Structure 1
Amino acid sequence: MPWGLLVVAGLLEIVWAAAMKQSAGFTRPIPTLIMIAAMPASFALLAMAMKSLPLGTAYMVWTGIGAAGAFIFGVIWLGEAATPIRLLAAAMIAGGIVLMKLAN
């Protein structure tokens, strides 16, 4: 259960980060509202997951999902560069998430 909450929290982190980018500095209301809704939901689910997961594990996995997911969103939907070094960095983040899960 806590791992499921953590994954959903990480996915919501991607949502709020992408919405923040799309809000154009909070000048576009719909993306701004999506960000305002997704951010506290992400934090709440992270807090629930932290009831039974170690702090370092939960926070690292949450930020890792958000960072890698935001990168993927940027590449696929925003046309950001997918250079070999950026892909390697994203793969290393994903590998760290898997290792952290295996360690617990």
Structure 2
Amino acid sequence: MSWLVLVVSGVFEAVWATALGRSEGFTRLGPSIIFGVALLVSMGGLAYAMRDLPTGTAYAVWVGIGAALTVGFAIVTGAESASVLRIAFILAIVASVIGLKMVS
């Protein structure tokens, strides 16, 4: 159960990171509210998962999922450019997250 909560929390990390960027310094209400809600869900889930998982592993997985999804979303929406190397490095992050799960 902790792994599932951790993965969902990582997804919410990508949500709050994207909303933070779109909030324009908290001057836009909608993205600012999404940021706050997603941040609470993400951190709460991370805290829950860390009751059963080692801190370093949980944090690395959480950040990895959030980072990969944030960059992936930015590429898909055209906010950032795609390149073979960029996609390869995102896949390396995903592989690392899977590796951490496999050795835990």
TM-score if structure 1 supplies the norm length? 0.95
- CA–CA distance in structure 2, aligned partners of residues 61 and 85 of structure 1: 21
What do the CA deviations read for 1:11-33 (whole angstroms, capped 9, x no partner)? 10011011111112211110011
Deviation at 1:40, TM superposition (A): 1.6
Say what the alpha-carbon RMSD is for the aligned residues.
0.9
Q: Detail structure 1 runs of 4+ shifted over 4 Å in the superposition.
A: none
- CA–CA distance in structure 1, aligned partners of residues 103 and 64 of structure 2: 16
**2:57 is the alignment partner of 1:57:** yes
Give structure 2 stretches of 5+ with no counterpart: none
TM-score if structure 2 supplies the norm length? 0.95
Identical pairs, percent:
41
- CA–CA distance in structure 2, aligned partners of residues 63 and 48 of structure 1: 15
Give structure 1 stretches of 5+ with no counterpart: none
Letter in 1 for 2:10: G
**2:96 is the alignment partner of 1:96:** yes
Residue 5 of structure 2 aligns with which residue?
5
Residue 32 of structure 2 aligns with which residue?
32
